Amino acid sequence: MLNGDKQKRALGRGLSALIPQAAPPAPAGASVVPPEPPPPPKGAVLKLPIEAIHRDTLQPRRHFDEEKLRELTESIKAQGVLMPVLVRKDGAGFKLIAGERRWRASQLAGLHEIPAIIRDVTEVEAFELALVENLQRSDLNPMEEAEGYHRLVEEFGLTQDQVAQRVGKERPTVANALRLLGLPDDVKGMVATGQLSAGHARALLGVPRLPEMTELASQVAARKLSVRDTEKLVQQAKGQKPKETASAPPKKQSPQVKALVEELQRALGTKVRLVEKGSGKGTLEVDYFSYDDLDRILKVFRKE
């Protein structure tokens, strides 16, 4: 009986029970908001307007070879952009993560769109991606590389160990790169433009006074000396004494001081110099050859 009642009610509703009804039309004059398109799949290659993409000030690369940029422009005119750039959302537009040379060349080629992949990343992740991409392609000069590591340490609070892990380098490599930031600006410029290599620059860091370092750097660049010859030049410069004291004989160390120096060298595992200045005063110099070596020496002092 109950089943019969249900069938009667269904029949009573007629076709409306079987055919879904369309939504009622919007009142006249009412604005219709179109539904938002679904987000693109992760990793999808999209065509983005070039003018909507902006250079990120965090981009580690600052120097671009003009001749290579012209060559890439001609290639893009002939074949288009074969590899998409990497971007992240920035308000209504996008910021570049990787592919600035392709983006620049595409503009020079007169393109209005460029293939791109949108990544949802933080500022520090974007900088790491840009740095790693440039390092893998050997696009950074030694100074740009050093400045990139420095920004990760200073601006994003990473340790040298963390920087090394993030960019896939050994910690001494990161430490040695950071040492280049201690060069005078003129010498940094020579390294950035390729007049001096990172090896030349590290050798020049052995010069204690910056004006002398700049002078030697100019000599090395002008004479196109090898790194080994640069190291010899630096050693000669460090061995020179002021003219007024050049003839003064070196002060002979007492047996007690010699024994103390030998004991320190055994304990620290490195070269030690002790210079007496009289009245129980003096200077103690301890050599180290990397930040890891310095950490090891400090642990000896701290008895860790």
Domain with 205, as residue range(s), is 190-238
Domain-terminating residue out of 94, 121, 148 = 121
Last residue of a domain, one of 69, 88, 121: 121
pLDDT averaged over every residue in the chain: 80
Distance from C-alpha of 102 to C-alpha of 48, rounded to nearest angstrom: 13
Dihedral pair phi/psi, residue 261, rounded to 5°: -60, -45
Pair 95, 49 in one domain? yes
Do residues 76 and 115 share a domain?
yes
Question: Which pLDDT band, with edges at 50, 70 and 90, does 15 fall under?
Answer: very low
Give domain status of residue 202, yes or no.
yes
Domain boundary among 121, 154, 180: 121
Assess if residue 76 is contained within a domain: yes
Whether 89 maps to a domain, the answer reads yes
Residue 302: pLDDT band (50, 70, 90) is confident
Helix H or strand E encompassing 164: helix 160-167
Mean pLDDT to the nearest integer, 163-177: 88
**Residue 33 confidence (pLDDT):** 59
**Whether 262 and 285 share a structural domain:** yes
User: Which residue of the set 51, 74, 100, 145 is catalytic?
Assistant: 100
Establish whether 145 is a catalytic residue. no
Tell me whether residue 132 is in a domain. Answer: no
For CA atoms 264, 265, 270, 274, the dihedral sign is positive
> Is the domain of 49 the same as that of 115?
yes
Q: Is the pLDDT of residue 242 over 90?
A: no
pLDDT digits (tens, 9 = 90+) for 41-62: 677 889 999 999 998 877 777 7
Helix axes 142-154, 185-192, angle to 10 degrees: 120
Count of domains forming the chain: 3
**Can you tell me the mean pLDDT for 67-83?**
88
